[in-house]
A and B are shown apart, each in its own frame.
Chain A
Amino acid sequence: MSKLIRMDHTGHSTLAEWTPEDPVAVEAAVTAFRAELERGYLAMVSTGPGHAEHVRELPVQAELVIMRLPISGG
């Protein structure tokens, strides 16, 4: 089961869960993903120890997609 989560004031919230074989759940996840991008969140996927990638489309095969806020120099 893949998960789309957003880091927020609760620690993190699960926005969608899907399996690639379930098109309805995938569609709901894609909709939730796009809504977060429109809110200014960035999507990250871990790609092995010490590696992550920023993605602009929901990677349906990924186990975990994390939405984060942008960072800036302090």
Chain B
Amino acid sequence: MATVDVLPEVAGVHWRARVDAAQLRLRGRLWTLTTIAHVVPFAGAATLLMALQPLALPVALVCLAHAWIIPELYAQRGANVLRPRGRAAHGSPTAEPEQRSVGLLGDLVGHEARELHARTGLVLEPGRLGTWLVGESGAVLLHGRRRVFCYCVKVDPRRAQAAELPSGDRIAHLLLALRSDEPGFATVANLAFAGAHWRLRRRLRKEMRPALRAARAALDSRARLAR
């Protein structure tokens, strides 16, 4: 069987360094520094304004609002990678393909992942870099105790067939690519957000939050077994 270890799509982003644990740590720290660089000047300006002139309270509040909103917008960008497309209504012409695609996806994952997908629309997949949550147009990697990396990655929209794929197939495409070359998958994907787990949880849709909890629990359980 002629197998290929590196994801073929990596050739399309040859200028990118292949993602590994060290690069993830570095990128995570850079994101933290960027967040600090956004928050500290606004918070500092608010403090200074209040110290110099208490009547400048409205302006100070605007500064604080900026300090709060900018990291939230980044987290929202991260949560958006898991946003599902509209599903076919029961009985509609696209309902059957939808069911068939979910059936195929179910064959690729275990019982627990299948059940979690039915509840949240996300597939939990353990990897070497951490634990992944795979959605229709993106994936979230939980790496280490506190940090998440949100990747925007999808079936290549330049392919005409991509627009017609049902949800289960979209996830299956990403899952198979992830399973064949995890670092390559993370290299091809665009990083939309890296930051604290709690920031992402707050911006996720309610029905998806159990998937994040399950991914965290899976990561903790693996860490305990590794000790």
Contact = CB atoms under 8 A, between A and B. Distances in A.
Given A11-B101, A54-B7, A68 B157 contact: no
Given A9-B97, A73-B190, A54 B8 contact: yes
Contact of A46 (B7, B100, B108, B173): B108
Given A11-B169, A57-B1, A70 B156 contact: yes
Interface stretch (B23-31, B51-59, B114-122, B147-155): B147-155
Interface residues of B, number: 53
A30 interface: no
Nearest to B164: A9
Interface in A24-74: 40, 42, 44-46, 49-57, 59, 61-62, 66, 68-74
B166 interface: yes
18 contacts: A9-B161, A11-B101, A11-B169, A12-B100, A42-B8, A44-B180, A50-B125, A51-B179, A52-B176, A55-B4, A59-B1, A71-B153, A72-B9, A72-B153, A73-B152, A74-B153, A74-B189, A74-B190
B180 A57 contact: no
Contact of A12 (B101, B126, B177, B189): B101
Nearest to A61: B1
A22 interface: no
B155 A71 contact: yes
B220 interface: no
Contact of B2 (A49, A55, A66): A55
Most-contacted residue by chain B among A8, A9, A11, A70 (CB, 10 A) = A11
Main secondary structure of the interface of A (DSSP, over half): loop
Contact of B156 (A46, A49, A55, A69): A69
Contacts, number: 127
Contacts of B81: 74
Interface of B: 1-4, 7-9, 12-13, 81, 96-101, 103-104, 108, 110, 125-127, 137-138, 151-159, 161-162, 164-166, 168-169, 172-174, 176-177, 179-181, 185, 188-190
Interface of A: 5, 7-12, 40, 42, 44-46, 49-57, 59, 61-62, 66, 68-74
* Shortest beta-carbon contacts, A-B, top 6: A11-B100, A73-B190, A9-B164, A74-B152, A52-B179, A59-B1
A30 to B, nearest CB: 13
A7 B1 contact: no
Given A9-B164, A50-B126, A73 B101 contact: no
A70 B177 CA distance: 9
Contacts of A40: 159
A22 B2 CA distance: 21
Contacts of A56: 2-4
A11 B155 contact: no
B104 A73 contact: no
